[in-house]
Structure 1
């Protein structure tokens, strides 16, 4: 919660027991610096791990453990704070300057809007591609689709299978549990981080996007690092009761999504720009070509599109 966007909360933030007044002054200085400097300066800064960078700034262990480690775990999907300090400053800048949001109609709305601008006959679904060839692509059914330009927009493992020689970064994993409740455990659109337990973060996502749940129901989204299963749900539910100070025993467990390759690891030395052009007419995009984030995926897609236009038209 940013004090310049929520002035009424500023005083409670100063008094919160997450660090000393010096800690808060240091964090304010760090945040101001990241807001003021252009992204190019942040990308070109000296690189360390995030933990080393926080120590360099003089942030105390208490502030790290009470605030930064649990918060950043939900962003970079790791608790050791070994992520590149350059990426940390960029993402911290984004949190300070931007507004956190989710698409009102879900993430799929992004692709639906993109597809709506294309002729219907230009889109082929449920046609797995098994190889990128000199002529275009080969499909699992034995057919071929000729193409002057091929853009591989997949996860890193699939991209490497289709484009031999492509580097596969180490990946972070996360599991998300979805629960439905007849009453939201909180009326706030607030993301809670778990300082003491295994939960990375949880929020009543329908408080932010009401369309995510039908009238009279609330949708709670909870993330945990690593690969979990439905068998772990009762333990997660118990912890949610403690976090929300509410009885979660009556919540409906809707789904468990374990994503093994959720985010590329971004440990030093970390390059924020990998080539998107692999050869004549062959391109690749995804967050593994830029930074491990939705923003990185979008930026790499634009870079690939620019490369196609520059070469083909």
Structure 2
């Protein structure tokens, strides 16, 4: 049975990964849409005493010889936007789980959010920041939209840097209507054009929720002594982490993410930190539970 990120990463079938991660997950993204005598058809269900006769589908009765009620929903008017950081730093791999990197994990989290949004009947869309540009999949509803979003997530590759602040500011056209934004990134670049865009959205009263991804090696500085690394986005030279550097590294990283957390708290962002070695279902549950503790 697929249980760990490393095993899940061995399949290229994103649908299979979603089904595994969401198995038994009872949380939704938000309160969703109201069932009842609404204006948009949702599904049929068997007639129950007390249902209004005007909601019985008489044509279906003639075919099936059973009473069915047309269930409808009132649109919540909330669009769900999934925001993926697919810049070069998201290629960072786990030192403990072969085949797992930050981009795979972020893609999996957002794919599950897309599946939940589709189940709830919400409109949802996708923004991918990669190679200095923002790629959009416009918001829509239904199974076909889920296929479009999963295809866009599947083809995302870690490349280049974030779009600049002006480019991201100009592309916030989707924010005219009330939106719920889920953003997944390592947030090693903070403040950044991405953080500025997210703060702008929050200032416009949109509901913004962040997931910050790190590897276990980043968290506890468990790199091998003398390991070399190069910033994939800044293009700087080769750096080596010696034993004496570990405490300074830990302190700098702790200060950085403390600032991220403080900024998010001040702007009322639910902010969740995850390690890419975590079981995806546990991380998704934690993100949803943290987000459900507040309202925009």
TM range (shorter): under 0.3
Taking structure 1 as the reference length, the TM-score comes to 0.25
